[in-house]
A = this chain, B = another copy of it.
């Protein structure tokens, strides 16, 4: 594919690829299903020595939360995530309004301990985390740019082919639709004052094309190329026997269902999960060849807080549910059907 000829292979891929192959072999030999969960936003750097970049909104909550439920359902999980976005288990204590040190206190003997009021929940989370480490069922692989993401996705998909239908792709990362091709990237920080910009010669990017980001008078103008439709390639070529689930995030409710249906039809994969920016924590639309289905948490089971630690009390008398606790079992069921009855992809005549 032309994209991979023209955009550099990330240096981190060699080590990640090797680690992933070992991980996959272990679980293939144990007959365990493997889910590749992607998570967090991708960046589009505007300079090679990156000072400015375009980003897609995502803290990584959907991916990190879902990964925990895949692990609970017996999957091994490759967690391909934006560096410093939320991680499975650790998510309960990071990106919170409390500082992590607020959970700590000094014991009477002067040692650092977790406060009594946090012991119960942290013990629960820590036990699950340690179990995943011990069983080696969770592999964390970080990316930052959309280029790193695409190279990793292709490589991991190829490595997962020996798993056959026991492999699953849960593409929760917020991947940019646009990027700056390597030959249109400037080397240095784009200068805002014209006098300094003249120090950089035009055409510095080295390509025949003009740089993607440049000054026009006092304005910064950026023009971005479309990212190739990698989902088509994943479905048809990189992972032809895997179950594939993609996401559609929209802000306009009137477009959501149409966009989700359109994506399923266009890529002929198994499931599109549609969600709206404003309501994504408590409702999603599942669109598959088998039909459409809304999953909606009852109002009194929805979390109203940002941090997981306070969730237990948020629903009043009722325990709060994370919507991923409903999404993942739905997927597991579809995956089992697919494995038992053969591939239900819509192109196969549903």
Residues of B within 8 A of A54 (CB): 46, 52-55
Stretch of A86-94, A235-243, A287-295, A330-338 that contacts chain B? A86-94
Q: How far is the CB of A309 from chain B (nearest CB, A)?
A: 13
State in angstroms the CA–CA spacing of A189 and B250 once bound together.
7
Size range of the chain A interface in the assembly? 35 or more
Given contacts A196-B259, A277-B49, contact A111 B119 (CB under 8 A): yes
Cβ–Cβ contact B55 & A252, under 8 A: no
Name 27 interchain pairs, CB-CB below 8 A, sorted by A: A46-B54, A49-B278, A51-B56, A52-B55, A53-B57, A55-B55, A84-B95, A90-B99, A90-B101, A100-B100, A104-B126, A112-B114, A112-B119, A113-B113, A113-B114, A177-B220, A178-B219, A188-B250, A188-B251, A191-B255, A196-B258, A199-B255, A200-B252, A220-B223, A220-B226, A221-B222, A222-B224
Tallying the copies of this chain within the complex gives: 2
State in angstroms the CA–CA spacing of A126 and B174 once bound together.
36
Cβ–Cβ contact B219 & A226, under 8 A: yes
A321 sits at the interface (CB 8 A): no
Query: Which residues 52-101 of A have a CB within 8 angstroms of B?
Result: 52-57, 59, 84, 87, 89-90, 93-95, 99-101
Cβ–Cβ contact B123 & A114, under 8 A: no
Residues of B within 8 A of A252 (CB): 188-189, 199-200
Q: How far is the CB of A64 from chain B (nearest CB, A)?
A: 11
List 5 other contacts, CB 8 Å, given A177-B192, A196-B262, A221-B224: A47-B251, A52-B55, A54-B55, A94-B94, A112-B114
A136 sits at the interface (CB 8 A): no
Residues of B within 8 A of A174 (CB): 51
How would you classify the secondary structure of chain A's contact residues: helix, strand, loop or mixed?
Answer: mixed
A20 sits at the interface (CB 8 A): no
State in angstroms the CA–CA spacing of A187 and B57 once bound together.
15
Residues of B within 8 A of A182 (CB): none
Query: Which residues 256-273 of A have a CB within 8 angstroms of B?
Result: 258-259, 262
Shortest beta-carbon contacts, A-B, top 8? A49-B251, A177-B192, A220-B224, A112-B114, A178-B220, A222-B222, A188-B252, A188-B251
Residues of B within 8 A of A118 (CB): 112
Partner of A50, one of B50, B57, B95, B189: B57
